[in-house]
Structure 1
Amino acid sequence: MNNKTNYRMKKFIMSALLIGATAAAQAQSIPVYLDESKPIEQRIDDALSRMTLEEKIAVIHAQSKFSSPGVKRLGFPDLWTDDGPHGVRPDVLWDEWEQAGQTNDSCVAFPALTCLAATWNPQLARMYGENLAEEALYRNKSVMLGPGVNIYRTPLGGRNFEYMGEDPWLASRMVVPYVQGLQSKGVAACVKHYALNNDEEYRHQVNVIVSDRALHEIYLPAFKAAVQEGGAWSIMGAYNLYQNQHNCHNATMLNKILKKDWGFDGVVISDWGGCHDTEEAINNGLDLEFGSWTNGLSEGTSNAYDNYYLAVPYKKLIQEGKYTTKELDEKVRRVLRLFYRTTMNRHKPYGFLCSESHYQTALKIAQEGIVLLKNDKINELKNEPLLPLNLQKMKRILVVGENAIKMMTVGGGSSSLKAQKEILPLDGIKARFADAEVDFVRGYVGDTVQSYNGVTVGRSLYETRTQAELTAEAVEKAKQADAVIFIGGLNKSDYQDCEGHDRKSYDLPYAQNEVIEAILKVNPRLVYVNISGNAAALPWINKVPAVVQAWFIGSEAGEAIASVLAGDVNPSGKLPFTWYASLGQCGAHATGSYPGNWREDYKIIDEEYKEGIYVGYRYTDANKLKPLFAFGHGLSYTTFKLGKVTTNTQHLTPSTKLTFTVPVTNTGKVAGSETVQLYIAAKQSKVDRPVKELKAFQKVYLQPGETRNVTLTIGADAVSYYDETANSWCAEPGTYEALIGTASDKLPTKYTFKLK
């Protein structure tokens, strides 16, 4: 080696040593709170120790409609939240509800959560969360305000379309993968509205009176699953009261149940304007306050957000010595934990918006969630069912109904979106049945509003003709049609499926019943497609051969509906709630519980849930009522047969599992999916028990003639009830029956076992 080479080698070695030493020195100089190699809790401790009182107060309340401040001095970015559970809401101005006028804040509108629940497919819930997170990341949103898992207690609930149905087990199994999918991308779920938010009318004033058993068995399980199994990073408090305290600062709900009993380590976020008192907020579990009013809480004040209950008023109480920073530090600790999981997570993926994969996911969920409620055979079709529509026999198709041309991604409250596209039902039908003559008539007028929150509705809904003229037109054209597709139901206007109000009636709105009855007199080949998040009375049900529940299904609505009507997709959705024949079959109404009674001062409504645990099918079962369509009901274009059930054991113990294996065969001519459902019935008990309760389900896809085994597993929790005396769950030894089938009213297989 010559001297020149030797010199170069020495220089290289010295440079490497110098670089290594510099890197080591730099590593040593990194503050603990920024050192990703350190555990998050250690980083939180370090960051908390560096924050001033003003910085601590700042991070626990909003600074704009949808953001709260980070800690600029320490390098923590602002935290941005956004509605909603079905798509990323368009950006609004800093301090107003009006849109900001951006051009890059359109989104894919995913189906509403009632549709997701109707898929009975947890894998789709995971995909839903992942896809939504990718759209949120593109828009720099760290917290998505959803999903919603409040129980479908009455079909009049204005916000039911945002939730996952009436059954706590179904909602639990669907919310967990949704939360996991969303948070796998570094975007926090904010599960809402915790809890008992079952009314929209006077939602700020309803004080819910409910038994502990009903609370724990019906209204809390989905929230508990989201926290303990899904690992939810944030929870949104509800507007209503429980035990005379608002749920955004409720000692029992937040401190005892959520944080102590369930071990929740995330952030409790107030619903917008849900905070009402500084000291209750300090003591009763609220961590981060958001508000609704443009001016904060005081008319005409500057720096309005500083007037929030957890802002200057809180700081003054500390400065005056009434409080130490103990409670404040606990709130900030939780907010910092959320920062590290979201805004400070340097390893989260990049987001992207309106991708082909997102539209495919939205379409898949919509198609799997659509429920075929009825499909009778018709004599004039040679004793064949009306659906799927046979183009060889159906050359002239008439589409009737305003909902065929009305955008459903627009309106409804905070879930309203600015979708990049929304395929309307009429357009989807025309595209799919291009070889047929497809005509359209309005039929009825429901809502002629042309925009909502700055988003226009796409096509004019203006109408000058009278209802008599519209009905006459529909009847005249129906005479010439081979099939009539009536697309009706509800919409997202006030007092329908909309935040802020409940429905005033169980009936279909506008003149829909009148038009349907008139059409049936001249053409019995009518398919009724119901667009809604709620059930409704269908007085003509025995005359209509085919009924489809199509939900609010987002961007791909028209294509999804048309694909099911044409038979390109075999419907496999199952109802996530009981479709009552009348409100008298609903426990909340039959017991006189809903909507509660005003107190003498007319400030609070006390609403006692007198039906207790008997919600949905639990009530109809107990009272031997036959609903219009049962919970879990959903038909197919093929047929299935369930074989003999086998088990791994005849006994269940608190520490073992009982597994049921059910062979399922597609006995029809087309491929399709069936959902096998398992319900548990207690044969004896020292307390009142429902006739049966859903405790397991699995969806299986089968080709014609194919047989596959479905496995359903339960543990002791499946036979447990909440013991109000012991304030804990109890699994009584004794005899139980597993009821297995394809709907809550179609359970032909029974298997008796014992809990030892």
Structure 2
Amino acid sequence: MNSKKALSKFSKIALIFIFIFLKTPDAFSQKNHSMAHENNAVESKIDSIISLLTLEEKVDMCHAQSKFSTKGVERLGIPEIWMSDGPHGVRAEISWDSWDFAGWTNDSITAFPALTCLAATFNPELSGAFGYSLGEEARYRKKDVLLGPGVNIYRTPLNGRNFEYMGEDPFLASKMVVPYIKGVQKNGVAACVKHYALNNQELWRNQVNVEVSDRALYEIYLPAFKAAVIDGGVWSLMGAYNKFRGQYCCHNELLLNKILKKDWGFDGVVVSDWSGAHNTYESAMFGLDIEMGTGTDGLGSTTANHYDHYYLATPFLKSLKAGDIDESVVNDKVRRILRLMYRTNMSSNRPLGRKNNQEHHDVARKVATEGIVLLKNKNNFFPIKDENITIAVIGENATRSMTAGGGSSELKPQFEISPLEGLKMRYKNATIVHSMGYATGPSVYDAVIPSKLDADSLRVEAIKVAKNADIVLFFGGLNKSHLQDCEGADREQFNLPFGQDELLNDILRVNKNVGYILVSGNAVEMPWLNSINGVIQTWYLGSMAGYAIADVISGDVNPSGKLPFSFPVKLQDNAAHSFGELSYPGKDYNQVYKEDILVGYRWHDTKKIAPLYAFGHGLSYTSFNITDIKVDKKAYTPQDKIKLTCQVTNTGDLEGAEVVQVYIGKQKSKVKRALKELKGFQKINLKSGGQKAVEITIDAANLAFYDESISDWNLEKGDYIIYVGNASNNIAETIKVNIK
């Protein structure tokens, strides 16, 4: 077909669509009407089902029947609900009554990068692809609920579970979580956003009571959950282990009944974290719908933890029969559970799912390469060209599996390409020699089990290998082990474990040409930074880790990741740690968030404490200019949108991507404020010499603060400063605007 005919055919099709919409100007309202009609039909079906259920059947639907499933009602054809961890990949099949693996041979999956890496991409579109691919794998494994994503705010770099979350900024987390949720749920699998709320440390997570101001709660710790519910339409939500204002979060009247279900209109299911329920009356009355994990051995060794003894099991049934709790309470829970089923395992148009296919591997690699952050690059140490050189690869993290361990986010991938493998496949002409240099123990609890390998021998061998190399790549950082990046405990040190600092200094004495490849989900102390030529933050990258790391080190991919949290110089520079024991980890299991709203870069900016690396920081192998920055007008009403435009130019020699970041601060505010807060961003890919106009729109109403005096949002009038740059500490220009 020639171009004219093709154009003609396209034009006819376009005209047909235009005609349809002209004839039916309310096409979109008709679609909304159709959806409303469908929802009403589902609610009517749910009403009819509830009327057929016995009280015992209703209660049975509100608690677990195994480690990861709840009962259906066989006589009515109502299916069981099957859940699975986690946010980075579908967990291996777990036994019915214990935490042992079930031993299946067909439950291997694609391991996707950890959510810190996804957040570092600053690419919501890519987050949608991540969620969709993960949802396909969950659907293939016949899961109804995927327990993720996590959006708890990065408050302290010691939190063992930070790698599962989306960083320190509520706006970034909100923008990244919504497409992830929508992507998962397109597959008829419910995302389960977690851990609601204030689960910002693993130490004492089952006992600690968190006290935080309403302002910090609404401005910092709730926005990503709110976005998940209102913008993402998430179908389920998991409560947190900790207490908030004296009440456990899994049955918390303020968090669940008032804020989540009433204020936000959440119509989905609240699931307890495993063993997160503690009381029958509160579980029934304060917002919990499905209780999971109470009693960790199921039927394994005793009847004491039998599923019928859960708080929302026999004790709940007795309270209902005695009239202590009205039947409308269990009916509401069952209604939500059935609604979840009509969206998942009782949906008539559910796709089949896929796993371990090339498209999923491509998405995993794309997320990994876009999320890797180039922190330092002295004298263009990176990229390392493929030449006849000797590269010493030092460190256990070059070969250690980073999909195992970590707690509930552990994975069983079909394959995992290690960094060493990736480098060897990429650098065909180089001589690559690996030396472990340091070693951890043999298990995921190796932080407390010493390695059987001799540390001195490893150190001597590493120094020898480094001395004879042209370039040293030191693969260090943390791993997904107990007391590191792992569920169930926090880190006990901010510096690097296993003698890495000392080993690195020894290597620098024999070879100055060293680059550090940091594998972690957390910030670490870097006392050796000035002596290192380059630093790359690589996160936990899953199945495609080695390929992605080699892509960036070689320059086959130009790094474009930006830090989703601040790196303090020393631990005391972090806000949570600057106020002493009561602020972290707490005193007598009580904790006060004394830094209030000044989390992360807000603290560094406002208190003028320079970070080691700032939120939003990330270098490139090319260079960019952000120019011609302007807004559409100088004064706005609360109903207006602030339209900011700028030109981004790639002034370097390579194609690359830059993230324009827009922060806004209030001058002369009547309340305490951060100097500035992220309110908009956009990622732009440009060829060498390319230029692109960027427009970022910000609702003026989103500049409001949470006013505790009126228990509502309040938009101050007056002057605001807009900061535009490519990191929180690298601002190209400021503009003053006025809110009327």
Normalised by the length of structure 2, the TM-score is 0.93
> Deviations 1:479-519 (Å, cap 9, x if unpaired)?
21111110010011110000000000101001111111111
Q: Which runs of 5+ in 1 are unaligned?
A: 1-34, 378-384, 453-460, 600-604
Indicate if the aligned counterparts of 2:381 and 2:533 stay in contact, CA closer than 8 A. Answer: yes
Aligned counterparts, 1:444-523, within 5 A: 444-449=438-443, 465-523=453-511
Paired residue for 1:727?
A: 711
Q: After TM superposition, give the deviation of residue 75 of structure 1 in Å.
A: 1.2
Q: Which runs of 5+ in 2 are unaligned?
A: 1-36
CA distance in 1, matches of 2:39, 2:256: 32
Q: After TM superposition, give the deviation of residue 462 of structure 1 in Å.
A: 11
Paired residue for 2:303?
A: 301
Paired residue for 1:28?
A: none
Q: After TM superposition, give the deviation of residue 323 of structure 1 in Å.
A: 2.0
Paired residue for 1:402?
A: 396
Indicate if the aligned counterparts of 1:317 and 1:323 stay in contact, CA closer than 8 A. Answer: yes
Indicate if the aligned counterparts of 2:661 and 2:681 stay in contact, CA closer than 8 A. Answer: yes
CA distance in 2, matches of 1:407, 1:111: 13
What SS does the corresponding residue of 1:701 show, helix, strand or coil? Answer: strand
Task: Identify if the C-alpha distance between structure 1 residues 300 and 719 changes in structure 2 by more than 3 Å, giving closer, same or farther.
Answer: same
Are 2:330 and 1:323 equivalent residues in the alignment?
no
Q: After TM superposition, give the deviation of residue 390 of structure 1 in Å.
A: 2.3
Paired residue for 2:408?
A: 414
Of the structure 1 ranges 153-162 and 175-184, higher mean CA displacement relative to structure 2 is found in 175-184
Task: Identify if the C-alpha distance between structure 1 residues 628 and 509 changes in structure 2 by more than 3 Å, giving closer, same or farther.
Answer: same
- Amino acid in the other structure paired with 2:504: I
> Deviations 1:286-337 (Å, cap 9, x if unpaired)?
0010015344499732881111000111111111222220111111111111
Paired residue for 1:270?
A: 272
Task: Identify if the C-alpha distance between structure 1 residues 716 and 234 changes in structure 2 by more than 3 Å, giving closer, same or farther.
Answer: same
Percent identity over paired residues: 52
State which of 583, 595, 609 in structure 1 corresponds to 2:584.
595
Paired residue for 1:712?
A: 696
Indicate if the aligned counterparts of 2:97 and 2:300 stay in contact, CA closer than 8 A. Answer: no
Task: Identify if the C-alpha distance between structure 1 residues 206 and 169 changes in structure 2 by more than 3 Å, giving closer, same or farther.
Answer: same
What SS does the corresponding residue of 2:366 show, helix, strand or coil? Answer: helix
Of the structure 1 ranges 640-649 and 181-190, higher mean CA displacement relative to structure 2 is found in 640-649
Are 2:732 and 1:748 equivalent residues in the alignment?
yes
Aligned counterparts, 1:546-565, within 5 A: 546-565=534-553
Q: Is the radius of gyration larger for structure 1 or structure 2?
A: 1
Indicate if the aligned counterparts of 2:575 and 2:598 stay in contact, CA closer than 8 A. Answer: yes
Q: After TM superposition, give the deviation of residue 342 of structure 1 in Å.
A: 0.5
CA distance in 1, matches of 2:305, 2:670: 59
What SS does the corresponding residue of 2:72 show, helix, strand or coil? Answer: coil
State which of 431, 434, 447 in structure 2 corresponds to 1:437.
431
Paired residue for 2:117?
A: 115
Task: Identify if the C-alpha distance between structure 1 residues 292 and 562 changes in structure 2 by more than 3 Å, giving closer, same or farther.
Answer: farther
- Amino acid in the other structure paired with 1:434: K
- Amino acid in the other structure paired with 1:743: A
> Deviations 1:122-173 (Å, cap 9, x if unpaired)?
0111001100110011110010000000000000000000000000000000
Indicate if the aligned counterparts of 1:408 and 1:491 stay in contact, CA closer than 8 A. Answer: yes
Indicate if the aligned counterparts of 2:650 and 2:689 stay in contact, CA closer than 8 A. Answer: yes
Paired residue for 1:423?
A: 417
Indicate if the aligned counterparts of 1:666 and 1:705 stay in contact, CA closer than 8 A. Answer: yes
Aligned counterparts, 1:490-639, within 5 A: 490-592=478-580, 593-599=582-588, 605-639=589-623
Paired residue for 2:240?
A: 238
Aligned counterparts, 1:56-135, within 5 A: 56-135=58-137
Q: After TM superposition, give the deviation of residue 718 of structure 1 in Å.
A: 3.0
- Amino acid in the other structure paired with 1:446: T
Paired residue for 1:210?
A: 212
CA distance in 2, matches of 1:583, 1:465: 31
CA distance in 1, matches of 2:179, 2:701: 20
Indicate if the aligned counterparts of 1:137 and 1:350 stay in contact, CA closer than 8 A. Answer: yes
- Amino acid in the other structure paired with 1:67: S
Indicate if the aligned counterparts of 1:307 and 1:313 stay in contact, CA closer than 8 A. Answer: yes
Q: After TM superposition, give the deviation of residue 201 of structure 1 in Å.
A: 0.9
Of the structure 1 ranges 540-549 and 315-324, higher mean CA displacement relative to structure 2 is found in 315-324
Of the structure 1 ranges 338-347 and 651-660, higher mean CA displacement relative to structure 2 is found in 651-660
CA distance in 1, matches of 2:597, 2:38: 47
State which of 192, 195, 211 in structure 2 corresponds to 1:193.
195
Are 2:684 and 1:690 equivalent residues in the alignment?
no
Q: After TM superposition, give the deviation of residue 54 of structure 1 in Å.
A: 1.1
> Deviations 1:608-660 (Å, cap 9, x if unpaired)?
00000011011111111111100000000000011111322222212110111
Aligned counterparts, 1:153-232, within 5 A: 153-232=155-234
What SS does the corresponding residue of 2:675 show, helix, strand or coil? Answer: coil
Q: After TM superposition, give the deviation of residue 751 of structure 1 in Å.
A: 1.1
Q: After TM superposition, give the deviation of residue 41 of structure 1 in Å.
A: 1.2
CA distance in 1, matches of 2:370, 2:689: 21
Indicate if the aligned counterparts of 2:392 and 2:469 stay in contact, CA closer than 8 A. Answer: yes
CA distance in 2, matches of 1:140, 1:298: 25
Paired residue for 1:150?
A: 152
Aligned counterparts, 1:335-350, within 5 A: 335-350=337-352
Indicate if the aligned counterparts of 1:580 and 1:629 stay in contact, CA closer than 8 A. Answer: yes
Normalised by the length of structure 1, the TM-score is 0.91
Indicate if the aligned counterparts of 2:440 and 2:450 stay in contact, CA closer than 8 A. Answer: no
State which of 260, 263, 277 in structure 1 corresponds to 2:262.
260
Indicate if the aligned counterparts of 1:295 and 1:305 stay in contact, CA closer than 8 A. Answer: no
CA distance in 2, matches of 1:610, 1:508: 27
Indicate if the aligned counterparts of 2:308 and 2:314 stay in contact, CA closer than 8 A. Answer: yes
- Amino acid in the other structure paired with 1:443: G
What SS does the corresponding residue of 1:39 show, helix, strand or coil? Answer: helix
Q: After TM superposition, give the deviation of residue 211 of structure 1 in Å.
A: 0.4
Task: Identify if the C-alpha distance between structure 1 residues 481 and 342 changes in structure 2 by more than 3 Å, giving closer, same or farther.
Answer: same
Paired residue for 1:672?
A: 656
State which of 376, 383, 387 in structure 1 corresponds to 2:382.
387
Q: After TM superposition, give the deviation of residue 596 of structure 1 in Å.
A: 4.1
Are 2:645 and 1:661 equivalent residues in the alignment?
yes
> Deviations 1:446-494 (Å, cap 9, x if unpaired)?
2322899xxxxxxxx9965532222221112212111111001001111
Indicate if the aligned counterparts of 1:110 and 1:555 stay in contact, CA closer than 8 A. Answer: yes
Q: CA RMSD in A?
A: 1.7
What SS does the corresponding residue of 2:731 show, helix, strand or coil? Answer: coil
CA distance in 2, matches of 1:571, 1:205: 41
